[in-house]
């Protein structure tokens, strides 16, 4: 996971192929708690928190990461939960960017 944390997202052309299942599965080992969708086009994780304040603090921290990396997830936020879905829409599936940001989102939890 340290490689993912040190990496930064890059822009992909529309000609770039999404990661294949083997590569995605291998990278999944570096981001505990995340799952690959059944169609293989996205990864997701649901983060649980004690209260609304912690949930929004997480959302704000991840918004900063997303802005810095210029790679933005879909978020569903409730009182004590934030569900995150990453996919690289420009290539129609998963890219290394999705795993980089997932690793950085996981790291936010360990910063407490």
Residue 31 banded pLDDT, cuts 50, 70, 90: very high
Task: Look at residue 2 and tell me whether its pLDDT is greater than 50.
Answer: yes
pLDDT of residue 27: 97
Instruction: Walk across the sheet containing 74-78 and list its strands.
Output: 35-36, 43-48, 81-86, 74-78
State the fold for domain 2-6+19-109.
Gyrase A; domain 2 (3.30.1360)
Residue ranges covered by each domain of the chain? 2-6+19-109
pTM assigned to the model: 0.94
3-state secondary structure of 81: strand
Residues 6+ apart with CB under 8 A from 108: 58, 61, 62, 65
pLDDT of residue 1: 56
Residue-wise pLDDT for 47-106, tens only, equals 999 999 999 999 999 999 999 999 999 999 999 999 999 999 999 999 999 999 999 999
């Amino acid at each position: 996971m340290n490689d993912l944390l040190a990496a930064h997202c890059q822009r992909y052309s529309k000609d770039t192929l999404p990661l294949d299942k083997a590569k995605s599965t291998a990278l999944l080992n570096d981001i505990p708690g995340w799952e690959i969708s059944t169609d293989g086009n996205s990864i997701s994780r649901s983060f649980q928190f004690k209260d609304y304040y912690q949930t929004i603090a997480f959302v704000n921290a991840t918004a900063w990461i997303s802005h810095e990396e210029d790679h933005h997830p879909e978020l569903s936020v409730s009182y004590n939960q934030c569900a995150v879905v990453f996919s690289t829409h420009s290539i129609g599936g998963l890219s290394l960017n999705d795993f980089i940001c997932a690793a950085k989102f996981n790291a936010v939890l360990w910063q407490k």
